[in-house]
Amino acid sequence: MLPPSALPGLAVSTHAVTRADLASDVAGGAVFERRLAAWGFARGRERDFQGESRRIDRAVSRTLEFRTAAGARAYVRYLGSHVASLYGAGSTVRPLASRGRTGYLANAAACACHRAAPTLLALLARARRVTWLEVNGGAVTPAALVRLVARAP
């Protein structure tokens, strides 16, 4: 996961991530939970950063492990092609690579709120490991996300 020193000034908490937790992220969670089992999801950890800053208000860093590299790639491919199930219609995705990992950068559809802050997600796989880094805040940019995800395992 992203080290606590990567986002100084934000409160940090760390906990395990289960299949049920991951399934709650997407529409049709029960079906997705069965997919996770088929893909061989083994375990995960999540570090949540929260607070008010000029750049980032919240970041969620996850490291997920699958039994096989094919399972990790399947998870990333599925979410990359179903980004609307995470963030709603109008969300966009583009390919992303970082430190030998490949996957996607997703840009969540903005809500109609006048103070809405961008939400971006880097989702990358290498071997049996998936790196998930979601950031939200007034100054979040794709370049800032790419710099941060380079610090995550």
CATH number at 63 reads 3.40.1000.70
Domain that holds residue 43: 13-85+103-108+117-149
Say if 137 falls within a structural domain.
yes
The number of CA neighbours under 13 Å toward the Cβ of 27 is 8
The string of DSSP letters for 10-23 reads SEEEEEEE-HHHHH
If one counts the domains in the chain, the total is 1
Give the C-alpha separation, 100 to 111, whole Å: 33
Reported as a single tens digit per residue, the pLDDT across 36-90 is 999 999 999 999 999 977 788 899 999 999 999 999 999 999 999 999 988 988 9
Tell me the pTM. Answer: 0.93
Say if 8 falls within a structural domain.
no
Residue 52: what pLDDT? 77
From the list 114, 125, 113, 122, the residue with the least C-alpha distance to 141 is 122
